[in-house]
Structure 1
């Protein structure tokens, strides 16, 4: 029997695990256009920017961090202050086990409490596991930016999804 996943607000002590999981996402080429793994200094600076409304949550199983999710600034324009961008990463061994659903559900409650009314996300059209999660949680596809970025010297499309909270 699998143990329960607990979701909580991230602390600075979680930075090493957040970095480890993020770097897995970069290496696996399924979740971000980033191609170079990050270091502790990068993640510490990122974490400092994610305080207050732009929170970071971690998921734990048996006291081990196995995933994280964050609300990110969507735009500096004041008209978009109620819109957050989503990041969510699950460690390789824990993907497809409901960790993402637990994180996303908690993050949506946190977003509402922080006066966000909408979450947007950008995903790859080939990331079927991610899309299953997002659709299950009520996100809808808005469209696809064709050749939005370059990864490994190849143009790559990026799908936009959204959810009104």
Structure 2
């Protein structure tokens, strides 16, 4: 039997799964400069800020949320109103199995429907699997911010990628 993957709009009931998967990304140190795991009150506030144009999608397999993606505000300046920042997180045991591609494909459609013309993202230069996904989905490297942040006492470079929709 084929495990069907479903991508849908996230609901408040999904915040526990989104939080669990986000905390895996924080713990794994491959996707964010955040170093402290988050709690449910953080995630509820985050989810409430992601309504309207700033959608959150989840990927489900057999009724279990295995990944999520969101469009995030890039800047508060009106000149950047058509630019969204991107977040994608996949549960550890499901990485590399197509959930990221499915989420991004759906998120690109929603971004266009909400008058975004460009999506930007920030990734670590050593996150090769993430970069592979982004390149496969049409993103290009723009540059690298050297020593953009500190994680676990060490400077971390951050790569910028973009996709014109």
Whether TM-score is above 0.5 comes out as: yes
Give the structure 2 partner of residue 95 of structure 1. Answer: 95
Check if 1:83 corresponds to 2:83.
Answer: yes
Inter-CA distance 2–35: structure 2 relative to 1 (3 Å threshold):
farther
Give the structure 2 partner of residue 158 of structure 1. Answer: 158
SS in 1 for 2:121: strand
SS in 1 for 2:162: strand
| Aligned positions of 1:37-48 closer than 5 A | 37-48=37-48
Give the structure 1 partner of residue 144 of structure 2. Answer: 144
Give the structure 1 partner of residue 66 of structure 2. Answer: 66
Give the TM-score normalised by the residue count of structure 2: 0.99
1:8 CA drift (Å) = 0.2
Deviations 1:99-131 (A, max 9, x none): 000000000000000000000000000000000
Question: Mind listing any 5+ residue stretches in structure 1 that lack a counterpart?
Answer: none
Q: In 2, Cα distance between the equivalents of 1:15 and 1:2?
A: 27
Give the structure 2 partner of residue 129 of structure 1. Answer: 129
Question: Mind listing any 5+ residue stretches in structure 2 that lack a counterpart?
Answer: none
Q: In 2, Cα distance between the equivalents of 1:157 and 1:51?
A: 31
Q: In 2, Cα distance between the equivalents of 1:54 and 1:112?
A: 12
Q: In 2, Cα distance between the equivalents of 1:114 and 1:19?
A: 25
Give the structure 2 partner of residue 115 of structure 1. Answer: 115
1:159 CA drift (Å) = 0.1
Q: In 2, Cα distance between the equivalents of 1:125 and 1:137?
A: 17
Q: In 2, Cα distance between the equivalents of 1:115 and 1:45?
A: 24
Q: In 2, Cα distance between the equivalents of 1:56 and 1:119?
A: 14
SS in 2 for 1:43: helix
Give the TM-score normalised by the residue count of structure 1: 0.99
1:4 CA drift (Å) = 1.4
